[in-house]
Amino acid sequence: VFRASGLTTLPSILLIGPSDSGKTSLLTLFERGTNASTHTSQAPISVECSLPVSNTAGSDKYRSAHDPTNQAHKKFLLIDTPGHGKLRHHALDNLTNPQNLKGLIFIVDAATLSAGDEGLRQTADYLHDTLLILQKRMAGNKALKALKDLPVLIAANKMDLFTALPAALVKSTLESEITKVRVSRSKGLLDSGIGMDEGADDEKDDWLGEVGSQDFKFYQMEEFDVTVEVIGGNVTGGEGPTVEKWWSWISERL
């Protein structure tokens, strides 16, 4: 449920990613400071969060520690979206009509990304589509166009599980799976005849990353001012949450 307008002017961070990856768990932890059980989400929720005292917002970095305007508890809005395939329009609505959006956290379950795992295919599919929206934002509406740089954090969650891939492997595995998605999408367009009438340019527009490249790499998104970083962590399990690096990533964007 979106709350009244006053809050929407706060800087916001959007949580997106496939079902069961831990978005609502992360929201709960960041809002309350403790874990609580979650149910699969059916609607977006946005909550007001504060940076932990130990983190300084990027916009406050050059202030002296004694500057009274230095906000140790800088507030921001965290927006959770449902990951279910049929409910993704909620997340995509937030992307195409952003309210003071400062960054996007795409959460993946690092334990479902082994070769041949259905989770890998679904995750790569969703990530491909999300990045393509960001890439094409210059052709989109004004609000989205206004976002000059768009930082994306791929939060490789569930690192407490022994089946979880380490962050570097999450990165390369997703890159090669997105390479496959990219090829199959462009074949699909050719087969259906879409883009044939409008000429080859349209087809190029739906190609993620560098045109003519064999392999997709996240750095190819930099050309579109989208910076992608992959950082591992866990919300639950293990010896407690490991989310400090994700907090730092957020604080640098506020």
Contacts with ligand GTP by CB under 6 A: the residue count is: 21
**HSE-CB of 112 using CA atoms within 13 angstroms:** 18
Which residues lie below 8 Å from residue 37, measured CB to CB, with a gap of 6+? none
Give which of Mg ion, ligand GTP, none residue 237 binds (C-beta under 5 to 8 Å, depending on kind): ligand GTP
Taking Cα atoms as reference points, which of 60, 80, 62 lies closest to residue 70?
60
Residue 209 CB, nearest distance to Mg ion (Å)? 29
Question: Taking CB under 6 A as the rule, does residue 21 contact ligand GTP?
Answer: yes
Question: Taking CB under 6 A as the rule, does residue 56 contact ligand GTP?
Answer: no
* Number of neighbours of residue 196 by Cβ within 10 angstroms: 12
* Near Mg ion in 80-139, by CB under 5 A: none
- Residue from 75, 84, 136, 180 binding ligand GTP (CB under 6 A): 84
Question: Taking CB under 5 A as the rule, does residue 173 contact Mg ion?
Answer: no
Question: Taking CB under 6 A as the rule, does residue 20 contact ligand GTP?
Answer: yes
Tokens 């367009």, located at residue: 189
Taking Cα atoms as reference points, which of 52, 9, 12 lies closest to residue 29?
52
* Near Mg ion in 26-85, by CB under 5 A: 41
In this complex, which beta carbon is closest to ligand GTP, that of residue 58 or of residue 237?
Answer: 237
Residue 23 CB, nearest distance to Mg ion (Å)? 5
In this complex, which beta carbon is closest to ligand GTP, that of residue 43 or of residue 138?
Answer: 43
Any idea what the Cα angle at residue 97 is, between residues 190 and 124, rounded to 5°? 45
CA distances from 81 to 21, 104, 114, 117, 199 (A): 11, 12, 25, 23, 36
Residue ranges binding ligand GTP (CB under 6 A): 19-25, 38, 40-41, 82-84, 157-158, 160-161, 234-237
